[in-house]
């Protein structure tokens, strides 16, 4: 799974064979210039989900429900329906036990839901930073309970973000749906997700420690633009 926020990237990623395109609320940071994901709204998400959907990818389109768009089951369902109307095939939300009723309400309506456990970017302000999870037996137990509550409520898969590798491996073995890891070790989950800007080296101002850039789009862009500016200045 890779994130996609616009038409050309959705087409390119799909042509390259990615299984799932995630219109993540990381949109807020790598596209919209917010410091974290807590400034992302439904209006932002709908705009970008529609752009990705216009690429008509083979890949499944999963759209994040942004912060405060799923505070109650009714609100979660209304906003999930809007994301699907904009072109999403499924929605994703953050959290475990306290989200189970919302997951149940959305899936009962026929909309597939992906869970998201471990480090929850939408809680960065409450938690005072990005904290790795699964470091103690108590934390692992809480993750296990959260994962089971999500499975019981009907999620078809879940993201494990920044979970200690051995804990991610143990949890993956214990739960009945596929897990998709980010910052949770190699091969410890059933699949992996990356933010496309991290993979392409397109957001050089913050690179997560676990990122594995396969290109340097930032350097290529600066080089191409500098060459353009130099040519135009010389010839005008």
Q: Catalytic residue positions?
A: 161
How buried is residue 233: exposed, middle or buried, by Cβ count under 10 Å (0-12/13-18/19+)?
Answer: exposed
What is the pattern of x (binds ligand KIV, CB under 6 A) and - over residues 64-103? x---------------------------------------
- How does DSSP classify residue 72? S
Helix/strand/coil percent split, the chain, to 5: 45, 15, 40
Tokens at 123, concatenated: 């809680």
Q: Of 21-29, 49-57, 135-143, 212-220, which part binds ligand KIV (CB under 6 A)?
A: 21-29
CB 134 within 8 A of CB 145: no
Nearer to ligand KIV, 43 or 232 (CB): 43
Residues with Cβ within 8 Å of 180's Cβ and at least 6 positions away in sequence, in order, are 1, 20, 114, 157, 158, 159, 160, 189, 190, 191, 192, 193
Of residues 97 and 211, the one with the C-beta less far from ligand KIV? 211
- If binding is defined by CB under 6 A, does position 192 make contact with ligand KIV? no
State which residue has the least CB distance to ligand KIV. Answer: 24
Distance of closest approach, residue 45 Cβ to ligand KIV, in angstroms: 10
DSSP summary character for residue 65: P
User: Does residue 168 interact with ligand KIV by CB under 6 A?
Assistant: no
Q: In this chain, which of 2, 14, 20, 26 binds ligand KIV, going by CB under 6 A?
A: 26
Is 25 a residue that touches ligand KIV (CB under 6 A)? Answer: yes
Contact segment (CB under 6 A) with ligand KIV among 12-20, 24-32, 43-51, 146-154 equals: 24-32
* Interaction between residue 193 and ligand KIV (CB under 6 A): yes
The H-or-E segment that residue 221 falls in is: helix 217-235
CB 136 within 8 A of CB 94: no
Which residues in this chain contact ligand KIV in the complex, by CB under 6 A? 3, 22, 24-26, 64, 159, 161, 182, 193, 195
């Amino acid at each position: 799974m890779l994130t996609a926020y616009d038409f050309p990237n959705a087409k390119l990623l799909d042509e390259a064979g990615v299984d799932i395109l995630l219109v993540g609320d990381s949109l807020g940071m790598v596209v919209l210039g917010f410091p974290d994901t807590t400034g992302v709204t439904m209006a932002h998400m709908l705009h970008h989900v529609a752009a990705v959907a216009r690429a008509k990818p083979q890949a499944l389109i999963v759209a994040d429900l942004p912060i405060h768009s799923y505070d109650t089951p009714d609100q979660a369902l209304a906003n999930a329906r809007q994301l699907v109307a904009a072109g999403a095939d499924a929605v994703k939300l953050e959290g475990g036990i306290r989200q189970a009723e919302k997951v149940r309400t959305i899936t009962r309506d026929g909309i597939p839901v992906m869970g998201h456990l471990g480090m929850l970017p939408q809680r960065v302000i409450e938690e005072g930073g990005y904290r790795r999870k699964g470091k103690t037996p108590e934390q692992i137990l809480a993750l296990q309970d959260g994962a089971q509550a999500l499975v019981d409520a009907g999620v078809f898969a879940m993201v494990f973000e920044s979970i200690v590798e051995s804990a991610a491996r143990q949890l993956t073995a214990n739960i009945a749906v596929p897990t998709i890891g980010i910052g949770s070790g190699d091969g410890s989950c059933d699949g992996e997700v990356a933010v496309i800007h991290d993979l392409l080296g397109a957001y050089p101002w913050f690179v997560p420690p676990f990122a594995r850039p396969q290109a340097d789009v930032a350097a290529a862009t600066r080089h191409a633009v500098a060459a353009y500016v130099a040519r135009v200045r010389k010839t005008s």
